[in-house]
A and B are shown apart, each in its own frame.
Chain A
Amino acid sequence: MIAVPAESDDLAERFVAGDGDALRLVYERHGPLVHSFCRRTVGADAAADVTQEVFVAAWRARDRFDPHRGALGAWLMGIAKNKVFDVLRRRRVHVVDTDPVVATDGPIEAAPDPVDGIGDRMVLAGALEHLAPRARQMLHLAFVEDLTHEQIAARTSVPLGTVKSDIRRALSRLRAQMEGGDDRVR
C-alpha cells in the first residue's frame, strides 16, 4: 500500500538485517513511545517489563517487519498492544479449584478498544512531530477549529489550492506512519 519506507533513514533496514546496534537506536527512538503506552495501559509498575518484552519480541521477529509496508513505530506499537492484551488477560485468569487449568471468565470485550485507541493516538501524536509547522497548523485549523478551506486560506495567506494539497499530503504522511504491517507478532 505504501511504496516508500516510512522511516526517513535506513534504520529499519539495518534492524531487519539483524544489526544489533540498530536495535539500540530503535530502542532509543521508540522506547519512550512504547514505555509511555505501557504505563497508560498496564500501569507504571508493569510498564518496564512489558516494554522489555516488546523490544525482545520485535528483535526476534524482525524478519517479519517490512519497511516498505509499514513504519517501525507503528509495528512496535502493534506488538506492544498484543503484549498489553496478554497482561490484561493474565490479570483476568482465574484459578479453577486446584486443577491448574487456565480459564478466563468469558470473552474480554471491553479492554481492547481503549487500548487500541490509546496506542493509535500516541503513534499519531508522534507522527505529528515530523510534519512541517505549516502542515500542523492547517490540520489544527481544519479539524480542531473546523474552519473551511477558504477560511484557512484567508487566515494563513496561502492559496486555496495549496491549502487543500497541504492537508491532503499531511494526512497521507500521517497515515503512512500509522501503518504497521504484520500485526501478528507477539
Chain B
Amino acid sequence: MTEFADLSPDDLAVAELYRSLTPEDFELVAPPPGLWAAIEAETQTQTQAQVEATENAAHVAARQAPPTSQTPRSEPTSRAQSAVRAMSRRGVVRFTAVAAVAALALVGFVAARRLGADPERQLALVELTTAGLETPEPTASGTAELVEEGGHQVLHLHLDRVTARSGEYLELWLIDTEVSGMVSLGTARDGAEYPLPAGLSISEYPIIDVSSEPYDGDPAHSSRSLVRGVVSI
C-alpha cells in the first residue's frame, strides 16, 4: 500500500478495520422499552447510598459537637444542610441548583426515616466462615447482614481478619447453588454496604463469597475464596 506509506500505524489499523466492516455492524437494535426504568432505579439506589453515607458522616460530626439546647425536630434539616455542605466542600458531587434541592429533600427524607419507626428491616444475618475452604487464615470470619431499606435490598458486610494475599484485593461475590452463575458486587471491605442489583433475587444467588483477586485484568473468580456463607430466607 504505497498509497498510504505516510499514514501512521494507528490510522492504517483503522483503515484495515474499515475494510472488514460487514452490513451487520451497522444494524442497531434498540433496547427493550423497560430497560431505562431498570437502569434508573438501580443508579438511584446508588445515589441514595452515597447520600446516606455522607449523611452518616455528618451525623457523627454532629454528635461530636458540643451539646446545645435540645431541638430534635429541627435536626433533620440542619443535618441535611451540613451533609450537602460537606459534599460541596469535598467536591464529591457537582450540584446544580435543582439537584441540590432534590438532594436536600432526599437527605431530609432519609434523616426523617431514621428517626421514624421503621428504619430498615433485617432479612437475613449470615455468618461468613472458612469452613470447607483452603485458606491461609483459618481465623478469618465475618458477617453479612441483608436488610431491606426503602424497598431496596442492601448487604452490610463485616469482615474480621480477612486479608487478601500479598498484592491482591478482596472481592465480594454472590454465587448460585449450582455454582454456574455469579455476580460480583465489587471490592469487599469491612463495614461497607452493597445495594443489590435491582431484580436480582438473593434466593437465586444465596452464596456470599469473599475472594482474594490478583490485579490481572481477569474478571473471573480467582477460585481463592477466603470466607463464605449461605443466605437462607
Bound: A124/B22 CA distance, A: 11
Hey, which bits of chain A sit against chain B, CB under 8 A?
Answer: 17-20, 23-24, 27, 31-36, 39-40, 47-48, 51-53, 55-56, 59-60, 82, 85-86, 89-90, 93, 95-96, 99-104, 117-118, 120-122, 124-125, 128, 139, 142-144, 148-149, 168, 171-172, 174-175, 178, 184, 186
Those of B15-69 within 8 Å (CB) of chain A: 15, 17-22, 24-32, 35-36, 38-40, 42-44, 46-47
The listed residue (B15, B21, B217, B219) touching A86 by CB distance below 8 A is B219
Whether the pair B220, A148 counts as a contact (CB closer than 8 A) is: no
Assembly CA distance A19 to B99 (angstroms) = 8
Q: Is the CB of A40 within 8 A of B24?
A: yes
| B side interface size, CB within 8 A | 53
| CB-defined contacts of B18 to chain A, threshold 8 Å | 124, 128, 139, 143-144, 174
Contact (Cβ within 8 A) B31 A51: yes
Q: Determine the chain B residues whose CB is within 8 A of the CB of A121 once the complex forms.
A: 17, 20-22, 25
Question: What chain A residues lie within 8 Å of B31 (beta carbons)?
Answer: 31-32, 34-35, 47-48, 51
Taking a contact as CB atoms closer than 8 A, the residue among A20, A24, A31, A186 that contacts B47 in the complex is: A20
Task: Please determine whether B19 and A144 come into contact, CB atoms closer than 8 angstroms.
Answer: yes
Distance of A89 Cα from B180 Cα, bound (Å): 10
Is the beta-carbon distance between B24 and A102 smaller than 8 angstroms?
Answer: no
Return 24 A-B CB contacts under 8 Å, by A number. A20-B99, A24-B36, A31-B30, A32-B30, A32-B31, A35-B30, A35-B31, A36-B29, A52-B38, A59-B39, A60-B43, A60-B46, A82-B219, A90-B180, A93-B221, A101-B225, A102-B182, A103-B223, A104-B220, A117-B20, A125-B21, A144-B19, A174-B18, A175-B10
- Tell me if B128 counts as interface (CB < 8 A to partner A): no
Report if A90-B225 is in contact (Cβ < 8 Å); known contacts: A32-B28, A60-B46: no
The yes or no answer to B118 lying at the interface (CB within 8 A) is no
For A24, list chain B residues within 8 Å (CB). 36, 40
**Among B14, B25, B27, contact of A175 (Cβ-Cβ < 8 Å):** B14
Min distance, Cβ A184 to any Cβ of chain B, angstroms: 7
